[in-house]
Amino acid sequence: MKGWCMMKRNVATIFMLTLVFCLSIVFVSGCAKKAVVKEEAAATETKQAQPQVAADKSKDDDAARQRALREQAEREAAMKREAAAAAQPATYEFVDIYFDFDKYNLRAGDRDILKKHGEWLTKNSDYSVVVEGHCDERGTAEYNLALGERRAQEAKKYLIGLGVADKRVSTVSYGKERPLDPGHNEEAWAKNRRDHFVVTRKK
């Protein structure tokens, strides 16, 4: 009887151990499956994310290229505008001033014209002016070259007196070599006794 009871306890113990072993195997297998599932899910997410990352990088590269092209186009347009502005004549009209026969002193009306020229030059410091002295056809070439220079110098001194920098005003005399009117009468001569102004923009 005693032996029978011992055998029943041993069987029960073996059964319990077997049960615990089986449950352990099931638990470990379940954990392993969960780990595999998590790894597979992570791998799937990574694969799905890679095309998106590549697409985002491609978009960023395209945007950067477009921005660079736009900036280059803007720079080129600005350079063209500057070149066009430099090539254009001054918007202000520099009218000629005139002199009496064999004179180089400035008349009252011509001083008023020079004041306007001086005001414009003062406001537009990137421009310079060449004052050309001209004469009518009477007198020798040498005499008229000297007279034309005196006429140009008078206008220059007046402009400098108005505040225009000396280095921005230069003079040249053409004497009687470049008449505005080729006629041989007083009307033509009056047009040719003049100072002409050539305005240029600094480059």
Predicted confidence (pLDDT) per residue in 131-140, tens digit = 999 999 999 9
- Across the range 147-155, mean pLDDT stands at 98
Identify which has the larger pLDDT, 43 or 196. Answer: 196
**Per-residue confidence (pLDDT) for residue 87, from 0 to 100:** 47
Arithmetic mean of pLDDT over the chain: 82
Is pLDDT of 190 > 60? Answer: yes
| C-alpha to C-alpha distance for 170 and 91, rounded to whole angstroms | 20
| C-alpha to C-alpha distance for 170 and 199, rounded to whole angstroms | 10
**Per-residue confidence (pLDDT) for residue 74, from 0 to 100:** 76
User: Quick check: pTM over 0.75?
Assistant: no
Is pLDDT of 4 > 70? Answer: no
Of 136, 152, 132, 144, nearest to 196 by C-alpha is: 132
**Per-residue confidence (pLDDT) for residue 88, from 0 to 100:** 47
What are the beta bridge partners of residue 104? Answer: none
What are the beta bridge partners of residue 134? Answer: 175
**Per-residue confidence (pLDDT) for residue 75, from 0 to 100:** 83
**Per-residue confidence (pLDDT) for residue 105, from 0 to 100:** 97
Q: Where are the domains of the chain?
A: 1-88, 97-201
* Percent over 90 (pLDDT), the chain: 54
- Summarised one tens digit per residue, pLDDT across range 90-129 is 578 999 999 999 999 999 999 999 999 999 999 999 999 9
- Across the range 66-88, mean pLDDT stands at 69
Identify which has the larger pLDDT, 33 or 101. Answer: 101
| C-alpha to C-alpha distance for 44 and 193, rounded to whole angstroms | 94
| pLDDT band at 66; cut points 50, 70, 90 | confident
Instruction: Please report where in the chains the tokens 């379940």 appear, as a residue.
Output: 30
| C-alpha to C-alpha distance for 154 and 12, rounded to whole angstroms | 134
Domain 97-201 has CATH 3.30.1330.60: yes
**What are 25's two structure tokens?**
């195997």
**Per-residue confidence (pLDDT) for residue 35, from 0 to 100:** 53
> Checking DSSP bridges between strand 97-98 and strand 194-201, what pairing results, if any?
antiparallel
